[in-house]
Amino acid sequence: MATVVGLAFLFLFMFPISSHVRALSSNYYDHTCPHLESTVASAVKKAISNDKTVPAALLRMHFHDCFIRIRRTRSLFQHNLHYAFVLIIRAAMLRCCFGDALVYISLHAFYVIDEAKKALEASCPGIVSCADVLALAARDAVALSGGPTWDVPKGRKDGRISLATETRQLPAPTFNISQLQQNFAQRGLSIEDLVALSGGHTLGFSHCSSFQNRIHNFNATLDVDPTMQPSFAARLRSVCPAHNKIKSAGSPLDSTNLVFDNAYYKLLLQGKSIFSSDQALLTTPKTKALVSKFASSQKAFEKAFVDSMIKMSSLTGGQEIRLDCRVVR
């Protein structure tokens, strides 16, 4: 799940991971907003019926939402992970599009969260956070694309600020394996989480800007990344020429980009990955073994993906329930 290079570690409100994770519960809204899940699912289904790219957008949005404004802090007595959460919906994300964050060109479908939140405010006002709506929407997006479903731990609160500069905390499409491992470790996520969550690239599309480093002027002696399968690289070069001026040009992230499956891993082993960060997963024995495991077993991938999604989505904190997810204070 790709973006700009760099890490910015700014935070406002901090919560110990142990106490916050315990506060989340799959039945958190059972009595206060019993129709929450069906309401969100209805909004997601309606959107997908009109736009097949919605699942990838929702999944990517949730990933970015969880990663932004998380940092490691040092306690006087022990090491803990603390989190400050910010939900960036529409206003902040659109602002990012005009700044450093190339990835936000690919993010859309904010309206799905808007529609779900509007319906929830009509039936149970001031109860459900935008963060929980997004977590549920991402789960439903995966399930409605043929992937697994799972119980989403709920009870998150929304953050109070949103800064375009904080997108620099996200893993970039050009990251090598060391940078990826560091980026994930700083959020309490393991190497297996890294490889499993990268499988989210089974859904979606990338613009040329995120992978042009692999197909043009790769280094001082080679124009194309030699790890890429030649005919695959040639196809990408034809779609994304060196001086491409078509902003919408790009490539699906895998050959079945509207279906949640393990094709991403199979193609990665064939030299048909899109991002440098994808190829990086083959550069250490442990990550390569996990890629091979998930390529050979859809079941193993789905289990690891679900476990990692639950773990990642628990790494949030906040102080309020936003009534309008578009409002950035």
Kind and range of the H or E run holding 13: none
- Show which residues are catalytic: 64
CA angle 30, 32, 36 (to 5 degrees): 65
What's the residue count for the chain?
Answer: 329
Q: Which residues contact 134 (CB under 8 A, 6 or more apart)?
A: 58, 61, 62, 65, 87, 89, 113
C-alpha to C-alpha distance for 265 and 294, rounded to whole angstroms: 7
Phi, psi for residue 207 in degrees, rounded to 5: -80, 160
Contact yes or no for 104/173 (Cβ under 8 A):
no
C-alpha to C-alpha distance for 239 and 227, rounded to whole angstroms: 19
For the chain, helix, strand, coil in percent to 5 are 50, 5, 45
